[in-house]
A and B are shown apart, each in its own frame.
Chain A
Amino acid sequence: DAGVIQSPRHEVTEMGQEVTLRCKPISGHDYLFWYRQTMMRGLELLIYFNNNVPIDDSGMPEDRFSAKMPNASFSTLKIQPSEPRDSAVYFCASSSGLAGVYNEQFFGPGTRLTVL
């Protein structure tokens, strides 16, 4: 079975442009997580979904960030307008909640975003 798929793997854009990151979770997983990783702040959870419903978006830094999960196999993270401080690696992860809370999260390869 394929792992978590993210696209694009690298994105370079200019300040003010809209950026859309995409994620396909592992089939059958009902939890999806978006993380951001920087040297300064480490790995931060931005938002997570359960059965396509956003559960906790307290980590979303500001209104410029939005995330959607229109169906069980696809999620997007959008930044509009982008700023240089948004430069980071963005990871998507998924897990299965069937066995309770102790479930492994599987991470995608990440999208390296550079905002000039």
Chain B
Amino acid sequence: QKEVEQNSGPLSVPEGAIASLNCTYSDRGSQSFFWYRQYSGKSPELIMSIYSNGDKEDGRFTAQLNKASQYVSLLIRDSQPSDSATYLCASRSYNQGGKLIFGQGTELSVKP
């Protein structure tokens, strides 16, 4: 079992819809979680971080964390074609010395 798992996609949604990206993790010692966006041929860039159970909103993005279920999600409201990218989920744990463990990424395609 991979430490951080994501559906590879591609996930295709129409413009204006809500895109829902999911991630599960196996290390119960994980304390913080990150969503990175990576455009094709570019480097990952951080878009959201979440440390506590519940929701965290930032503009069109909402990160959700459920530590009991070991589940993290990212919702993108009013999806735009410019949101088309690969979204990487990452966890961080003191058990792992604080390093980030990345999932394989989910490719999102937003169709005009």
Contact = CB atoms under 8 A, between A and B. Distances in A.
Given A42-B102, A42-B103, A43-B88, A101 B32 contact: yes
A105 B100 contact: yes
B100 A45 contact: yes
Contacts of A102: 32, 49, 51, 92
A43 B43 contact: no
Nearest to B93: A101
Nearest to B4: A42
A25 interface: no
B98 A108 contact: no
B105 to A, nearest CB: 6
Contact of A33 (B43, B99, B101): B99
B22 interface: no
A101 B98 contact: yes
A107 B44 contact: yes
Chain A binding surface, main DSSP class: strand
A98 interface: no
A56 to B, nearest CB: 5
A105 B43 CA distance: 11
Interface string A75-116: 000000000000000010000000001101101111000000
A43 B4 CA distance: 11
A42 B51 CA distance: 24
A12 interface: no
Contact of A110 (B43, B49, B88): B43
A43 B97 contact: no
Contact of A107 (B45, B51, B92, B105): B45
B46 interface: yes
Interface of B: 31-32, 34, 42-46, 49, 51, 88, 92, 94, 97-105
11 contacts: A33-B100, A42-B105, A43-B88, A44-B102, A45-B101, A55-B97, A56-B97, A56-B99, A105-B100, A107-B44, A107-B45
